[in-house]
Copies of this chain bind each other. A is one copy, B any other.
């Protein structure tokens, strides 16, 4: 029996696989609810809004309200406000989730001479958008990327992730972006504030060692890896720091 009071939970590979349901995930989150435990979905997906994420989870019989969702877009918007204030000019490349998160702040959106360039996954990327990002970064803008994921699993195969799009601006300008999403501590520290449980009371749950588990390890949290997604059991052998717990299915977790 485990005594964690708060669960930070990854989505893709942990709660579902693309559009495919993971039945144990539904049972797992229902158990969290039944045991009056706190939980927050923490995702590197910058394209969706919390409402859209909650709806997808509900369709898979996973109890979730928008306030149970913390995206890297929200973490990015918070980070900019904290570090640079609300009175900044932002040039953004990204989709709806990032746009909504940035709009929730009082930033001014600009096309040139930005104080901050923010990049999130944008499947409508154009050369002109990349050019504008490069020009502002060369002009001295702070350069922020929602997450460094290099590949997105889809039914077609692994598609370019935001980390690979971000590299265009990094390679062209020679300026490295500050990354916000897992495995960075930035998103985890913010998520802990949102969930409201302490570091010691909270556990990070995910399928990907390089993002979810490393994020937990770096934040000095306990971690649960579930082998339903990216990281297979045999991959773990080569990692120096092991997850606190390793399970094949969320059904194996005893509350």
* Closest chain B residue, CB of each to CB of A122: B127
Whether the pair B171, A163 counts as a contact (CB closer than 8 A) is yes
- State in angstroms the CA–CA spacing of A168 and B152 once bound together: 13
Whether the pair A172, B168 counts as a contact (CB closer than 8 A) is no
* Closest chain B residue, CB of each to CB of A112: B156
Number of chain copies forming the complex: 2
In the assembled complex, the CB of A235 is this many whole angstroms from the nearest CB of chain B, namely 15
- State in angstroms the CA–CA spacing of A192 and B125 once bound together: 39
Mark A residues whose CB is within 8 Å of B: 122-127, 130-131, 134-135, 138, 150-151, 156-161, 163-165, 167-174
Q: Given contacts A138-B158, A165-B168, A167-B170, list 18 more A-B pairs with CB under 8 A.
A: A123-B127, A125-B126, A126-B126, A130-B160, A131-B160, A134-B151, A134-B159, A135-B156, A135-B158, A138-B157, A150-B174, A151-B173, A159-B172, A160-B168, A160-B169, A160-B172, A167-B167, A167-B168
Q: What are 18 A-B interface contacts by the 8 Å CB criterion?
A: A122-B127, A125-B126, A134-B151, A135-B156, A135-B157, A135-B158, A138-B157, A150-B172, A158-B173, A159-B172, A160-B168, A163-B171, A163-B172, A164-B171, A165-B168, A167-B168, A167-B171, A168-B168
